[in-house]
Amino acid sequence: MHAIKNNWWKIAGIALVVYVIAGGLLFEVPDLPVLRESIRNIYFHVGMWFGMIFILFMSVVFSLRYLARSRPEDDLRALAAVKVGLLFGLLGLLTGMLWARFTWGDYWVNDPKLNGAAVGMLIYLAYIVLRSSLEDPEKRARLAAVYSVFAFVLFFVFIMILPRTASVSIHPGVDGNPALATGDLAPEMRWVFYPAMLGWFIMSWWLYRLFYRMSRIEIKIREIRENQNNQI
Amino acid sequence: MEWRSKFAIGGVVLYLVSTVFITYLAFDGRIALQTWNALFWLIILFASMHAIMKSFIQESENRQLYYYMLASGKEVIVSKILYNSLLMVVLSLTGLLLFIAFMGNPLQTLTVFLINMLLGVVGFAVVLTLISAIASKAKNNFTLMAVLGFPLVLPLLLLLIRVSNAGLAGAPLAEAATDMLIILLLIFIAFTLSMVLFPYIWRE
């Protein structure tokens, strides 16, 4: 009983994602020109980006908390969240590229939104590089947190403002958040779309917790080894 | 206090001259508008990277300790940003003159292009100063500076290139006003963030 009580949200997440995969692939979708059946990708592609933004936002929250309280756990949490964010971002890029191939005819087009996505990936890869080039854990945590906050705010401004002012963008969602505006999505698709978003949020949170606990266990193991070496 | 490393500035100016000269030789002086624009911004971007990188990395530990006793973190970052902005304004004007001298002057109206350029280099200075402070604390900081800096400067650069393309084509100031406002907003945000975040890097 205890396990179910604590882990109900994971079960809910699995159920939602299974439902989304089944429903997303099987349910009726409107037959639109050009898009055709590829519209089903919306449940996965958009879900990946929402999940990424959500988990990166959490990462910045942890970074800020680290700067405020200087507790090493917060740094580990921020790092774990960035890793999940990168994974989701990569999947978002892949699903997006596949979609672009079938609707726009090419894997990559020069478009403000796509460039924004690429910049985001570069920023967080740079974050990983920054971490690996610093050895002192306390210093590493502090500098990484500063960079993460600085970069995230600029990145956010970039993806929120720039695509809206650009004169041409073939990526949908120029005036608002794609697929959230009520007129955008066919009613039968909402039955899958909203659960999909929730499901991917839960998945990203769960993955983040796994990464975080893995890194804590690694640190524990290292400490134990060092203690053993000292005793010998 | 920055005048002490005068040779560093000389180095950047020389860098500007030689890159402009190389592009001149490579392109034989006949290039299209867009190429002119792209080359100009590339040169300015790399020059600013070089110039701003120096602001923290080249200082010895002892001198940093000395500043630490004299001024608070906020004062240090603000003065560094102001200095770097000034330096970049001077450098970009020199760069523009050189570029016009070697590559010809396609500018029909100077105002839009000039305002945009000045805004842009101040933007580079604001964003890159904090990055240079971060990079200076790490090993192999020259690579790190580029890795950390480029993705953050890229959005700014895209905007700048767009505006200056419009400026080259002779667009009136009003047309470019929104983009310039966004650039200003970016500068403002980066400046405030630097002020808030820098003390965390500084205290040690």
CA distance A176 to B146: 33
Contact A145 B200 (CB under 8 A): yes
Chain B residues with beta carbon closer than 8 angstroms to that of A157: 155, 185-186, 189
- A68 and chain B in contact, CB less than 8 A: no
CA distance B98 to B24: 10
Between positions 145 and 164 of A, the ones with CB within 8 A of B are 145-147, 149-151, 153-155, 157-158, 161-162
Per-residue model confidence as pLDDT tens digits over B145-185: 888 888 888 878 888 888 887 777 766 767 677 778 888 88
* pTM for this prediction: 0.75
Contact A162 B197 (CB under 8 A): no
Specify the higher pLDDT residue, B67 or A140: A140
- Comparing CA positions, the residue from A150, A128, A119 lying closest to residue A79 is A128
Alpha helices in B28-72 (DSSP H): 33-57, 61-70
> Residue A181 has what pLDDT?
44
User: What average pLDDT is seen over chain B?
Assistant: 78
- A167 and chain B in contact, CB less than 8 A: no
The structural domains of chain B, with segments of one domain joined by +, span 2-202
- B193 and chain A in contact, CB less than 8 A: yes
Region A11-166+188-231: CATH code: 1.20.120
- Comparing CA positions, the residue from B200, B198, B201 lying closest to residue B78 is B198
Least CB-CB distance to A119: which of B138, B144, B155?
Answer: B155
Instruction: Using DSSP, state whether A174 is helix, strand or coil.
Output: coil
Contact B158 A145 (CB under 8 A): no
**Amino acid found at A197:** M
Q: Is ipTM > 0.95 here? A: no
Give residues with Cβ within 8 angstroms of A175, minimum separation 6. Answer: A164, A181
pLDDT band of residue B5 (cuts 50, 70, 90) is low
- Comparing CA positions, the residue from B185, B204, B64, B65 lying closest to residue B126 is B185
> Residue B59 has what pLDDT?
63
> Residue A161 has what pLDDT?
67
B55-59, B134-138, B176-180: segment of lowest average pLDDT: B55-59
- A134 and chain B in contact, CB less than 8 A: yes
- Comparing CA positions, the residue from B55, B63, B51, B52 lying closest to residue B9 is B51
Contact B148 A130 (CB under 8 A): yes
> Residue B42 has what pLDDT?
85
- A119 and chain B in contact, CB less than 8 A: yes
Contact A162 B182 (CB under 8 A): yes
> Residue A177 has what pLDDT?
44
Per-residue model confidence as pLDDT tens digits over B91-126: 888 888 887 877 777 666 677 778 888 888 888 888
Per-residue pLDDT of chain A in tens (232 residues, 90 and over written 9): 566 667 777 777 777 777 667 666 666 666 555 555 566 666 677 777 788 888 888 888 888 888 888 787 888 888 888 888 888 888 888 877 777 777 666 767 666 667 777 888 888 888 888 888 877 778 888 888 888 888 888 888 777 766 555 555 556 654 444 444 444 566 666 666 777 777 777 777 778 888 888 888 888 888 888 888 877 6
Average pLDDT over residues B122-147: 81
Specify the higher pLDDT residue, A4 or B22: B22
